[in-house]
Amino acid sequence: MATYKVLVVEDDDEAAATLAAHLDRFGAEKDVRFLVTRLATAFELPSAEAVDLIFMDIDLPGINGMEAAQLLREENATTPLIFVTNLAQYAVKGYQVDALDFMVKPVGYGDFAMRMGRALKAMEKNATHTMALPTSAGTRVVDVRDIVFVELEKHDLLYHVAGLAQPLRRRGSISGAREELPQGLFITVSQGCLASMAHVSAVLADSLQMDDGTTLYFSRSRKKPCLETLARYFGGTI
């Protein structure tokens, strides 16, 4: 189960509790866990512990949320930021600090869940996932984002990793590899092959062109679901 750190910057106790409850419900539905930290002001934000997602109220005491976001972006350009406020007129300004989204209070769960789908994708892209691959030459720790594709050869899995001349070989099954890899990043191209959508350079009629030059062919049953998932991935809706 993936775990993400979420920072809620909100001075209103009820609004903060609502967000926490929504995160619990969304996490249960998506099989992810959110570790929530709350700040009542934005004074601590520039020195806050690294997090995966920030919910920011704008109408805060002292330094307001928009000013805090500007300071945040001077040091951190990648952490997804969602404004949650009753000041809807600030929505346009939110995009000046590269806000991922904007929610207007009171936030209902339906609207929250729809927007969190986009936020979850952003967090998955930003997260550093490493995994240890036991091979005949010893255990190799790799960043999951560097894995281009995984293929099955007899009873072995071959992990093709960017920057490595030869794939890493280990015993295993495609279903086992699929469970280990982050959801929302890899697709099943065929019964014996998983591909990282982040490394797809071209989508062809019957195959994928990967950025290492490899061509991976769809199986007949996987073509349609793969194309649909890729369309959502590149369209920013998963």
Structural contact between residues 153 and 193, judged by C-beta atoms closer than 8 angstroms = no
pLDDT, tens digit only, all 238 positions of the chain? 677 889 999 999 999 999 999 999 999 999 888 989 999 999 877 545 568 899 999 889 988 888 898 888 887 777 899 998 886 666 555 556 788 888 989 999 999 999 999 999 888 777 656 788 888 778 888 888 889 999 999 999 999 999 899 999 999 999 999 988 876 789 999 999 999 998 999 999 999 999 999 999 999 999 999 999 888 777 654 4
Q: How far is CA 56 from CA 6, 10, 15, 124, 218, in A?
A: 11, 7, 11, 20, 43
Q: Please write down the long-range contacts of 56-65, taking CB distance under 8 Å and 24 or more positions apart.
A: 56/9, 56/81, 56/82, 56/83, 56/84, 57/9, 57/10, 57/11, 57/12, 57/15, 57/83, 57/84, 57/85, 58/83, 58/85, 58/87, 58/90, 59/85, 59/86, 59/87, 60/9, 60/11, 61/11, 65/9
Residue 237 confidence (pLDDT): 46
Range(s) within the chain of domains with CATH label 2.40.50.1020:
131-235
Which strand (E) or helix (H) includes residue 74? helix 65-75
- Our measurement of the distance from residue 138's CA atom to the centroid of its chain's CA atoms, rounded to an integer in Å, reads 30
Which residues neighbour 226 within 8 Å (Cβ) at sequence distance 6 or greater? 187, 188, 189, 208, 218
**Which superfamily is assigned to 131-235 in CATH?**
LytTr DNA-binding domain (2.40.50.1020)
Range list for CATH 3.40.50.2300 in the chain: 2-126
Question: Is domain 2-126 given the CATH code 3.90.1150.10 in the classification?
Answer: no
